[in-house]
């Protein structure tokens, strides 16, 4: 596995993967320095993440290879379908996946998402609209949602 570290507005981000695709993207709370050179197999992921943070990308198309159970992958596939700038709740996600009672399992799979930002678990909020738990910290979740939601322009007329 190859690894690269890039600086983002939310902290140093670690990207891990190989020829089969990116297996993990995570943000570090402290330590580390950005990579001086990026391994070829991670170059497209690095470029697309930088474009996302610059406000020039709404989705990701690089090769991905996250590790997880079949159920987790099913949840992560559903997360990818949440449109940029939109949110859903754990309950809505559970219903979409066919079992409203699976809400805790869906939340657990969401929390184990290995592809930070790319599989947009930050777009899942509480049924009441609250910013519920987020592995990267609620301040990062809030930042990501604000980054993806353009400010409302008020009309003068």
| Active-site residue list | 121
Element (H, E) at 77: helix 70-80
CA–CA separation, 74 and 10 (whole Å): 27
Token representation of residue 133: 């738990």
Pairing of strands 124-125, 88-89: parallel
CA–CA separation, 125 and 133 (whole Å): 8
101 in the Ramachandran plot: left (φ > 0), alpha (ψ -120 to 50) or beta? alpha
The angle at the Cα of 75, spanning 72 to 150, to the nearest 5 degrees, equals 135
Token representation of residue 52: 């996302």
């Amino acid at each position: 596995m190859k690894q690269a570290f890039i600086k983002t507005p939310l902290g140093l981000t670690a990207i891990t993967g190989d020829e089969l695709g990116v297996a993990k993207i995570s943000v570090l709370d402290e330590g580390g320095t950005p990579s001086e050179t990026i391994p070829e197999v991670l170059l497209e992921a690095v470029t697309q993440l930088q474009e996302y943070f610059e406000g020039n990308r709404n989705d990701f198309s690089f090769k991905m290879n996250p590790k997880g159970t079949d159920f987790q992958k099913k949840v992560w596939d559903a997360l990818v379908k949440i449109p940029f700038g939109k949110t859903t709740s754990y309950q809505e996600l559970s219903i979409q996946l066919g079992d409203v009672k699976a809400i805790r399992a869906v939340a657990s799979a969401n929390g184990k998402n290995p592809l930070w930002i790319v599989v947009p678990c930050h777009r899942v909020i509480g049924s009441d609209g609250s910013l519920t738990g987020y592995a990267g910290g609620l301040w990062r979740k809030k930042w990501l949602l604000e980054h993806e939601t353009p400010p409302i322009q008020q009309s003068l007329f």
